Structures are given as C-alpha cells and as structure tokens.
Amino acid sequence: GIQVEQSPPDLILQEGANSTLRCNFSDSVNNLQWFHQNPWGQLINLFYIPSGTKQNGRLSATTVATERYSLLYISSSQTTDSGVYFCAVELGDYKLSFGAGTTVTVRA
C-alpha cells in the first residue's frame, strides 16, 4: 500500500513562532487532507489540498503532487494550535491512508 511519512514526529514551539510540517507520500494521490486532532481527540479538517497552495488564517498548505510531498505552515503559533497534525492521502479508492502524525506542543 501507499506509504505516508510525516516529519518531524514531535515539535515544541514557543508561542508566536512559525513552523513547517512535512508529509511525503509514495504514490500519485487523488486526494490529500490535513487534519488537526485536538486534545479531546476530535479530528478537525484543515485543508483539502491534492495540489496547489491554500491559506486559512495563520495556516497554509502546499502540495507538490509531482514530487509527492505536502507542507503545512503554522505562523504565529498559539497554545490552541497544540495537538497532533495528520496528513492523509487517498488513491482514488476513497480510503484515506494516514501518516503517523506530528505532535505539536506550543508553550506560552
């Protein structure tokens, strides 16, 4: 099956710092989504981004499909950004394959 690798596995930030999370995938994808899992366990949709660049407030994402990677940028981080960020890809079969996640801790 497709391999989805996220890096770094853990990230500790001071409030106000910027960061970049990376997702590499091993095959061409039909869909790529970024999620934030908050401390209560809920999976929150951040981006639907099979290709291109999108921005939503302090978050932005870029997927370079031809090179099989996606980046999630967090700017001016806040303590509420803490949690686990997942990248998930889909090959056209409607099954999302998730990476192992990046655990982000933002300290005040």
Partner 1 sequence: DSGVTQTPKHLITATGQRVTLRCSPRSGDLSVYWYQQSLDQGLQFLIHYYNGEERAKGNILERFSAQQFPDLHSELNLSSLELGDSALYFCASSPRTGYRSNEQFFGPGTRLTVL
Interface residues with partner 1 (CB under 8 A)? 30-31, 33, 35, 41-45, 48, 86, 88, 90, 93-98, 100-101
Distance CA 29, CA 10 (A): 25
Minimum distance of partner 1 from residue 87's CB (angstroms): 11
Minimum distance of partner 1 from residue 20's CB (angstroms): 22
Kindly tell me which of 13 and 61 has the beta carbon lying closer to partner 1. 61
Provide the edge-to-edge strand list for the sheet that holds 4-7. 4-7, 19-25, 69-74, 59-64, 52-56
Kindly tell me which of 77 and 85 has the beta carbon lying closer to partner 1. 85
Minimum distance of partner 1 from residue 88's CB (angstroms): 8
Kindly tell me which of 7 and 101 has the beta carbon lying closer to partner 1. 101
Minimum distance of partner 1 from residue 44's CB (angstroms): 8
| CB burial of residue 63 (10 Å; 0-12, 13-18, 19+) | buried
Kindly tell me which of 16 and 52 has the beta carbon lying closer to partner 1. 52
Q: Count the neighbouring beta carbons within 10 Å of the beta carbon of residue 34.
A: 23
Whether 33 contacts 47, CB under 8 Å = yes
Distance CA 65, CA 49 (A): 10
